[in-house]
């Protein structure tokens, strides 16, 4: 087999002409398109990175908001417990005060009734004593005129009768 130098030279010249024509007309456009494609891919990757960072930030914000909501809920529950405990305590204090008032009122009422009963008994005792004394005096006065005069005198002085 023999090497044909003319064919090699013609092939090299054809290749150089083709390379020159491609570089003049096609390579610039092809490289421009490839550069645009590379920029597009880089931009999409940057956008994806930003989107992922935003998603991570959003998830963190949601976690923080959820934690804050839980803390607020716990605070509300704790406040409700405190409020209900204080209301229960207030109701107990009020019930005790009302019981004390009712007890004091009952004691006063009993004392008043006792005083009325004692006064009534004194009046009745006085009346009965006067009746007994009158009967005794009447009996004795009938027997003795001097005593009758003494009783009349005494009644006049005490009663203010003439």
Q: What is the pLDDT along the chain (162 residues), one digit of tens a residue?
A: 678 889 999 999 999 999 999 888 888 888 889 999 999 999 999 999 999 999 999 999 999 999 999 999 999 999 999 999 999 899 999 999 999 999 999 999 999 998 888 888 877 777 777 777 777 766 665 666 666 677 777 777 776 545
* pLDDT for residue 103: 92
Dist CA 15 CA 28 (whole Å): 18
Q: Left, alpha or beta for 16 (phi > 0: left; psi -120 to 50: alpha)? A: alpha
* pLDDT for residue 122: 76
* pLDDT for residue 160: 57
* pLDDT for residue 101: 92
Does this model's pTM top 0.85? no
Tokens of 11: 């092939």
* pLDDT for residue 47: 95
Going by C-alpha positions, the residue among 102, 82, 79, 101 that lies closest to residue 90 is 82
Q: Using an 8 Å Cβ cutoff, are 122 and 108 in contact?
A: no
Tokens of 160: 């203010």
Tokens of 130: 């006067």
Tokens of 34: 């490839």
Q: What is the DSSP string of 42-61?
A: HHHHHHHHHHHHHHHHHHHH
Q: Using an 8 Å Cβ cutoff, are 124 and 130 in contact?
A: no
């Amino acid at each position: 087999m023999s090497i044909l130098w003319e064919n090699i030279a013609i092939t090299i010249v054809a290749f150089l002409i083709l390379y020159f024509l491609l570089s003049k007309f096609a390579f610039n456009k092809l490289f421009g398109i490839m550069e645009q494609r590379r920029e597009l891919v880089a931009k999409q990757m940057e956008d994806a990175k930003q989107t992922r960072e935003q998603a991570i930030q959003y998830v963190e914000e949601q976690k923080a908001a959820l934690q804050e909501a839980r803390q607020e809920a716990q605070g509300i529950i704790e406040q409700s417990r405190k409020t209900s405990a204080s209301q229960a305590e207030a109701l107990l204090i009020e019930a005790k005060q009302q019981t004390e008032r009712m007890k004091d009122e009952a004691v006063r009422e009993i004392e008043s009734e006792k005083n009325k009963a004692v006064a009534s008994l004194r009046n009745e005792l006085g009346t009965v004593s006067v009746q007994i004394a009158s009967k005794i005096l009447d009996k004795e006065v009938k027997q003795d005129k001097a005593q009758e005069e003494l009783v009349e005198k005494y009644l006049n002085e005490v009663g203010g009768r003439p």
